[in-house]
């Protein structure tokens, strides 16, 4: 120990340890052993097996936690199911009081939770104390509010039911709060599986829940092995699964839940760009990077790990970053003056090492500061990799460590291109003193959260979640609540018939059951045929029309060179439709992607085109109805066309009204929550209402700026002929809607697997929905299906409005701090 | 390696351990006037929200405890311009202040902390021109320099010739440091040449030995961009220190303002190879605040900027709080102000 005089000369920081005494006493009170928290009580795991959780900064054992196995999953889910009716029967106010009580408990025990978190996870105590735990309390408070307002703010909605949740180790308690608070506020009951590296704070929360008298079974905490976790997400009695973690595991979860109608939200990985323009406050941008990539040892899904800097200031910025890195303090995370603590586990440490080695092997220049790193424990120094290129592994893949990769750009357009050159889309940070530049880029970046001149800002009222392979669904705010709610009518819908109705000659093995359902009089009436533009005037089979695919605003012959006959109600040949194949879908998706400018058309402009479309429909209503009548009967045809006109008006109305909101998070900040188009959407239309069902899906999509590749039902693919005339005469830009006829089941595969589509909507049979879900995992496109329900397309309460608009958009939260 | 050319205090700390002025491995020289470069002023970019966030979180990222905290508080004393700038100042009041400057801590504390070898004194005594002679006499032999506020302090709106003459008089009276306040209107109006000329004239008037501290009046300048631009003009004009405030503004030294100024000092050093000192003044009253500022200097500029030759606190009340904290450190009991001799 040096003397005070020596310290006066050296002016080093010395030690400033947070005292872990109280947290240790708490662990001791539990004899450093924790069971499963099921049905309001602590239980031994069925096998009697426990695993140790360690302090990654020392390797010391902290406690033993139950290792639940498959046998423990059933009791946990059963407890949640049993608790559900009573929990849902509570008023919003009553649930609000529980959430409020939890928020208060978090505040009252904030330091114990912070110290526990740091001991278990290795993150600096400053972060757990000043960021994680306050955000946890804030999240419970905010959602106590949603519980209170549930009935008035979400009329007609109800909880999903029993929710299974799996959370990661990087923000153990914060992710617990993000999952549990909205689920409980909405009236769900929960089985949550914490990460086995960091289970302690979730268990502490279970105890707090006990203390506030949360009814048994409402919250169940299941520490368990991977098999049991998989059994949990696959459990047939769950209504919803929410997962935060790696994209790899997210894919698995999408796949194993594909056969069920569980609602799914995924918050996955990222390789978020951190974009610095030459007119940025460079010193502040450097501090932004510290908060971006050297926050929580870089183990942050939304870490700004990809630095894109304007060429002109690159060397200046790199020099400033290196200087700043020298003053980062790496060491024991319980020290109050430590910037970078321990990586969560030896495995993770090894992963980071290997990734950096691989980066260097591929030509990256690696720079690390001379800062002392503790010899024992899982520590990795802050690292800057320059001389990297977009093709480098370290640029493409998430490292999940304190490693920044840096590249340059020349123009804003190139910045946008590089920023979006990733399979991920979680967050982005943009630094410029020019608001025009910053907001322009914010609009272009494909990311769920954009921080202008700041980074890693979070608030319970502002939704968080990604685009692309960063997952789907949002956490926080109104959009986060919607993830745990479903329209009440959805629960009352009849089950969709198994197998899609379709002509048997298409090889789908299904009869024309829809036609029988329609039960309408048969068509073939001469007077109607007479109004047909190309009446069957020739003798023999009446082929009234040759329909082609509609791709990029043009009629296109099917690539296959085949057509298939379409028959009417009484089995008469109505015409022939093109038999679409993979290549037609490929071309259609290409056209849809090329029409992405539609999203930038003004909402007024989109509305005008939709009104014009409705106007043209009115003009042609009779002929359209007459043709349709031969398939669905006169009455249904008339209703479909009439409602179509109304529905088109509705979405023209919605086009400039389904808008975002502005949040006021703490601090001098506005957060602009924008509803953005999802992108290019593949649509598999239902057969029960061949025209109305198709347009009920196409219209909300295009009203919100999406482009569409739609496959009409096999029952009446000739509808393409009517629609392209309507679209062409309504000034709809080519490529916004593309229509491909063929065997839906075959085309569904190409659509669901196509990486150029951001979403797929399938409103057909349960089997097809399952198939589409499973096939969607390639690029983790968003999936919207009827979940095996039979929608009533003639009931506007079910078939149009917010439910569809919500799926046609994704929320981008743009944080804009201000002040001079 | 260039050493700091002038030891502005003669206390044991400096004599025993000269600290070379180095930034990122590059030795720096004392600042001198360079031609006004308007590009550098134009290139100023300051994002207020981001600066505020850094300032707010920095104090939560750094803390010092126990012996280290005691050592840092002693460092704060060594970097303190013990100041009296009141309309009711008198010769005896100034002499009392000087006595405190020589012995900022009572003997029992010095012994308990075992810091006799430091011969700890404050960095300087800061008074109005009228008391320069009194202070110089009272501090004779101590090595503690006298700083005079000058040039029409605190408004700085007297005719330029009178302000320059005032500096001459203070230097002749024995002031080794001159704290002047800039014409804030030059900043509002973007009259950088006028601002530069004014400060250059003040520096000229200081002669070869006295140090010039340029007070920017940051509470008046209002915006952080103004603060940065004024910092650049002052440094290019040859100021030895840039200083936040007169202590008479509604808002005086704040951490965001300080952050902007020390970042300007760092950029200036990188561009020119010259070092400039920093003095936050006004509103810094507690030991905790002193530690916050020391940590800011250490992290943003490095160890050399913890020397009194490059860093000063302008404070009148802070010493009393530091004494109480140090007594608590020694005894483990919380102290009371009346137990320490007043300045």
Chain B residues 225-244 with a CB less than 8 Å from chain A = 225
Question: What parts of chain B have a pLDDT lower than 50?
Answer: 1-15
CB contact under 8 A, B114 and A4: yes
Dist CA A273 CA A286 (whole Å): 14
Closest partner CB to B67 (pick from A7, A126, A453): A7
Give the H or E element holding residue A759: strand A759-762
Q: How many CB pairs under 8 A join A and B?
A: 108
Chain B residues 40-59 with a CB less than 8 Å from chain A = 45-54, 57
Q: What is the DSSP letter of A130?
A: I
A contact set with B (CB within 8 A): 1, 3-5, 7-9, 11-16, 126, 130, 279-285, 287-288, 323, 326-327, 336-337, 339, 431, 433, 453-454, 667-669, 817-820
CB contact under 8 A, B47 and A327: no
CB contact under 8 A, B50 and A820: no
Q: What is the DSSP letter of A539?
A: S
Chain A residues with CB inside 8 Å of B26's CB? none
Task: Please tell me which residue of chain B has the smallest CA distance to A4.
Answer: B71
Chain B residues with CB inside 8 Å of A820's CB? 48, 223-225
Interface probe, candidates A3, A8, A291, A341, chain B, greatest B C-beta count within 10 A = A8
Q: Which long-range contacts (CB under 8 A, 24 or more apart) does B111-118 make?
A: B112/B330, B113/A4, B113/B70, B113/B74, B113/B326, B113/B329, B113/B330, B114/A3, B114/A4, B114/A5, B115/A4, B115/A5, B115/A8, B115/B74, B117/A5, B117/B12, B117/B16, B118/A5, B118/A8, B118/B11, B118/B12, B118/B13, B118/B74, B118/B78
Nearest to B293 by CA among A295, A144, A11: A11
| pLDDT tens digits for range A255-296 | 999 999 999 999 999 999 999 999 999 999 999 999 999 999
CB distance from B113 to chain A under 8 Å? yes
Mean pLDDT, rounded, for A316-345: 97
Chain B residues with CB inside 8 Å of A7's CB? 67-68, 70-72
Residue B279, phi then psi, degrees to nearest 5: -135, 105
Catalytic annotation, residues of A: 267, 301
Q: What is the pLDDT of residue B4?
A: 43
Q: What is the DSSP letter of A495?
A: B
Is pLDDT above 80 for A503?
Answer: no
CB contact under 8 A, A14 and B60: no
CB contact under 8 A, B46 and A284: yes
Task: Please tell me which residue of chain A has the smallest CA distance to B46.
Answer: A281
Q: What is the pLDDT of residue A491?
A: 86
Closest partner CB to A820 (pick from B48, B63, B66): B48
> Cβ(B204)–Cβ(B237) under 8 Å?
no
CB distance from B107 to chain A under 8 Å? no
Q: What is the pLDDT of residue A524?
A: 39
Split at pLDDT 50, 70, 90, the class of A788 is confident
Give the H or E element holding residue A246: none
Q: What is the pLDDT of residue B8?
A: 41
Dist CA B198 CA B200 (whole Å): 5
Dist CA A199 CA A816 (whole Å): 35
| pLDDT tens digits for range B10-51 | 444 444 567 899 999 999 999 999 999 999 999 999 999 999
Closest partner CB to A3 (pick from B24, B75, B114): B114
Distance from CA of B255 to the nearest CA of A (A): 14
Which positions ≥6 away from A281 have C-beta within 8 Å?
A431, A433, A453, B45, B46, B47, B50, B51
Chain B residues with CB inside 8 Å of A819's CB? 48-49, 52
Task: Please tell me which residue of chain A has the smallest CA distance to B226.
Answer: A820
Nearest to A240 by CA among A179, A174, A171, A154: A179
CB contact under 8 A, A16 and B263: no
Which positions ≥6 away from A524 have C-beta within 8 Å?
A568, A570, A572, A630
Q: Which long-range contacts (CB under 8 A, 24 or more apart) does B57-62 make?
A: B57/A130, B58/B255, B58/B259, B58/B292, B58/B295, B58/B296, B58/B299, B59/B255, B59/B292, B59/B295, B60/A126, B60/A130, B61/A126, B61/A337, B61/A339, B62/A13, B62/A337, B62/B292, B62/B295, B62/B299
Give the H or E element holding residue A618: helix A603-632
Chain B residues with CB inside 8 Å of A281's CB? 45-47, 50-51
Chain A residues with CB inside 8 Å of B45's CB? 279-282, 433
Task: Please tell me which residue of chain A has the smallest CA distance to B18.
Answer: A9
Lowest mean pLDDT among A230-234, A539-543, A628-632: A539-543
Domains and CATH numbers, chain B: 26-339 (3.20.20.70)
> Cβ(A577)–Cβ(A759) under 8 Å?
no
| pLDDT tens digits for range A447-466 | 999 999 999 999 999 999 99
Dist CA B305 CA B297 (whole Å): 6
Catalytic annotation, residues of B: 179, 243, 279
Task: Please tell me which residue of chain B has the smallest CA distance to A283.
Answer: B263
Q: What is the pLDDT of residue A567?
A: 93
Closest partner CB to B50 (pick from A7, A130, A454): A454
Interface probe, candidates B53, B222, B256, B291, chain A, greatest A C-beta count within 10 A = B53
Specify burial of residue A15 (Cβ count, 10 A radius: 0-12, 13-18, 19+): middle
Distance from CA of B54 to the nearest CA of A (A): 7
Say how many Å lie between the first and final Cα of chain B, rounded. 39
And the tokens for A526? 């001469």
Task: Please tell me which residue of chain B has the smallest CA distance to A290.
Answer: B54
Interface probe, candidates A130, A274, A284, A316, chain B, greatest B C-beta count within 10 A = A284
Is pLDDT above 90 for A650?
Answer: yes
Percentage above 90 pLDDT, chain A: 92
Pairing of strands A403-409, A304-310: parallel
CB contact under 8 A, A5 and B114: yes
Chain A residues with CB inside 8 Å of B303's CB? 11
Task: Please tell me which residue of chain A has the smallest CA distance to B72.
Answer: A8
Task: Please tell me which residue of chain A has the smallest CA distance to B294.
Answer: A11
CB distance from B248 to chain A under 8 Å? no
Interface probe, candidates B49, B66, B69, B307, chain A, greatest A C-beta count within 10 A = B49
Q: What is the pLDDT of residue B294?
A: 98
Chain B residues with CB inside 8 Å of A337's CB? 61-64
Dist CA A628 CA A630 (whole Å): 5
Distance from CA of A289 to the nearest CA of B (A): 12
CB distance from B32 to chain A under 8 Å? no
CB contact under 8 A, A4 and B70: yes
Closest partner CB to A11 (pick from B49, B75, B225): B75
Is pLDDT above 60 for A705?
Answer: yes
Across all residues in chain A, what is the average pLDDT? 93
């Amino acid at each position: 120990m040096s003397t005070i005089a020596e310290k006066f000369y050296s002016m080093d920081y010395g030690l400033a340890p947070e005292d872990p005494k109280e947290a240790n006493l708490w662990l001791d009170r539990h004899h450093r052993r924790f069971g499963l928290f099921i049905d309001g009580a602590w239980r031994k795991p069925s096998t009697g097996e426990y695993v140790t959780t360690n302090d990654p900064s020392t390797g010391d054992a902290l406690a033993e936690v139950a290792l639940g196995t498959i046998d423990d999953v059933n009791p946990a889910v059963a407890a949640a199911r049993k608790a559900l009716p009573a929990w849902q029967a509570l008023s919003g106010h009553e649930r609000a009081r529980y959430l409020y009580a939890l928020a208060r408990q978090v505040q009252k025990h904030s330091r114990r939770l912070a110290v526990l978190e740091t001991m278990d996870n290795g993150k600096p105590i400053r972060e757990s104390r000043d960021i994680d735990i306050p955000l946890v309390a804030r999240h419970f408070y905010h959602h106590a509010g949603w519980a209170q307002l549930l009935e008035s703010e979400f009329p007609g909605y109800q909880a999903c039911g029993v929710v299974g949740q799996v959370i990661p180790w990087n923000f153990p308690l914060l992710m617990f709060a993000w999952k549990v608070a909205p689920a409980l506020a909405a009236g769900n009951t929960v089985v949550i599986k914490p990460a086995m590296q960091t289970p302690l704070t979730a268990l502490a929360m279970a105890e707090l829940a006990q203390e506030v008298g949360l009814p048994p079974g409402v919250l169940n905490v299941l520490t368990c092995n991977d098999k049991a976790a998989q059994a949990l997400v696959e459990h047939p009695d769950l209504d919803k699964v929410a997962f935060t973690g790696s994209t790899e595991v997210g894919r698995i979860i999408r796949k194993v839940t594909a056969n069920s109608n569980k609602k799914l939200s995924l918050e996955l990985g990222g390789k978020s760009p951190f974009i610095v323009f030459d007119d940025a406050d460079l010193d502040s941008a450097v501090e932004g990077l510290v908060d971006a990539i050297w926050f929580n040892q870089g183990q942050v899904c939304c870490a700004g790990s990809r630095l894109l800097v304007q060429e002109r200031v690159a060397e200046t910025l790199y020099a400033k970053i290196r200087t700043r890195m020298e003053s980062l303090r790496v060491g024991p995370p319980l020290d109050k003056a430590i910037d970078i603590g321990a990586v969560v586990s030896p495995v993770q440490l090894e992963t980071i090492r290997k990734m950096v080695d691989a980066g260097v092997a591929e030509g990256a220049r690696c720079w690390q500061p001379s800062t002392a790193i503790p010899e024992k424990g899982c520590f990795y120094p802050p690292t800057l990799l320059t001389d990297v290129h977009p093709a480098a592994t370290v640029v493409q893949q998430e490292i999940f460590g304190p490693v920044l990769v840096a590249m340059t750009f020349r123009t804003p357009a190139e910045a946008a291109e590089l920023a979006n050159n990733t399979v991920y889309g979680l967050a982005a940070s943009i630094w410029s003193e020019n608001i025009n530049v910053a907001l322009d880029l914010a609009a272009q970046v494909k990311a769920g959260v954009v921080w202008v001149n700041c980074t890693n800002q979070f608030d319970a009222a502002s939704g968080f979640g990604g685009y692309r392979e960063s997952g789907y669904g949002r956490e926080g705010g109104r959009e986060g609540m919607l993830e745990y709610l479903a329209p009440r009518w959805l629960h009352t819908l009849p089950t969709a018939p198994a197998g899609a109705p379709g002509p048997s000659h298409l090889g789908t093995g299904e009869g024309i059951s829809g036609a029988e359902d329609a039960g309408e009089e048969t068509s073939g009436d001469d007077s109607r045929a007479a109004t047909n533009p190309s009446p069957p005037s020739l003798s023999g089979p009446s082929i009234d029309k040759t329909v082609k695919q509609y791709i990029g605003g043009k009629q296109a012959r099917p690539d296959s060179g085949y057509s298939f006959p379409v028959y009417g109600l009484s089995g008469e040949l109505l015409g022939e439709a093109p038999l679409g194949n993979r290549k037609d879908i490929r071309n259609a998706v290409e056209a849809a992607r090329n029409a992405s400018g539609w999203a930038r058309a003004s909402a007024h402009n989109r509305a005008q085109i939709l009104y014009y479309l409705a106007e043209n429909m009115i003009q042609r209503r009779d002929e359209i109805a007459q043709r349709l009548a031969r398939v669905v009967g006169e009455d249904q045809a008339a209703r479909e066309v009439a409602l179509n006109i109304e529905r088109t008006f509705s979405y023209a109305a919605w086009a400039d009204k389904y808008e975002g909101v502005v949040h006021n998070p703490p601090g001098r900040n506005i957060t602009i929550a924008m509803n953005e188009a999802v992108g290019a959407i593949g649509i598999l239309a239902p057969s029960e209402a061949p025209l109305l069902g198709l347009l009920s899906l196409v219209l909300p999509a295009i009203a919100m700026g999406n482009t569409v590749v739609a496959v009409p039902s096999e029952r009446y693919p000739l509808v393409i002929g009517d629609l392209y005339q309507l679209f062409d005469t309504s000034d709809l830009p080519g490529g916004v809607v593309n229509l491909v006829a063929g065997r839906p089941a075959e085309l569904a595969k190409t659509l669901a697997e196509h990486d150029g589509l951001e979403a797929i909507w399938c409103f057909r049979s349960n089997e097809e929905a399952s198939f589409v879900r499973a096939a969607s995992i390639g690029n983790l496109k968003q999936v919207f299906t009827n979940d095996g329900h039979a929608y009533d397309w003639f009931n506007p309460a079910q078939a149009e409005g917010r439910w569809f608009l919500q799926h046609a958009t994704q929320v981008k939260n743009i944080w804009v701090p201000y002040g001079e | 390696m260039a050493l700091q050319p002038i030891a502005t205090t003669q206390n044991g700390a400096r004599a025993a351990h000269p600290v070379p002025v180095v930034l990122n491995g590059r030795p720096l020289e004392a600042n001198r006037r360079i031609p006004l470069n308007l590009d550098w002023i134009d290139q100023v970019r300051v994002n207020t929200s981001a600066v505020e966030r850094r300032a707010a979180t920095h104090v939560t990222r750094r803390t010092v405890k126990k012996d280290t905290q005691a050592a840092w508080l002693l460092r704060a004393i060594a970097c303190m311009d013990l100041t009296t700038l009141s309309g009711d100042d008198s010769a005896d009041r100034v002499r009392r202040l000087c006595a405190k400057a020589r012995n900022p801590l009572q003997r029992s504390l010095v012994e308990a902390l075992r810091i006799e070898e430091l011969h700890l004194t404050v960095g300087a005594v800061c008074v109005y021109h009228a008391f320069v002679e009194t202070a110089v006499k009272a501090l004779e032999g101590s090595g503690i320099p006298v700083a005079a506020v000058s040039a029409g302090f605190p408004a700085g709106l007297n005719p330029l010739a009178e302000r320059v003459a005032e500096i001459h008089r203070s230097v002749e009276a024995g002031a080794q440091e001159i704290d002047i306040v800039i014409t804030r209107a030059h900043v509002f109006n973007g009259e950088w040449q006028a601002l530069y000329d004014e400060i250059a004239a003040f520096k000229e008037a200081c002669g070869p030995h006295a140090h010039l501290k340029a007070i920017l009046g940051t509470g008046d300048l209002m915006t952080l961009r103004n603060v940065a631009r004024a910092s650049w003009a002052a440094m290019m004009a040859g100021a030895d220190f840039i200083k936040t405030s007169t202590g008479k503004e509604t808002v005086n030294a704040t951490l965001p303002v300080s952050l902007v100024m020390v970042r300007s000092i760092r950029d200036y050093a990188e561009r020119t190879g010259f070092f400039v000192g920093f003095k936050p003044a006004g509103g810094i009253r507690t030991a905790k605040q002193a530690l916050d500022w020391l940590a800011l200097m250490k992290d943003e500029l490095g160890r050399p900027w913890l020397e009194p030759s490059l860093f000063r606190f302008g404070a009148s009340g802070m010493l009393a709080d530091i004494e109480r904290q140090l007594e608590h450190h020694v005894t483990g009991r919380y102290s009371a102000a009346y137990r320490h001799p007043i300045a």
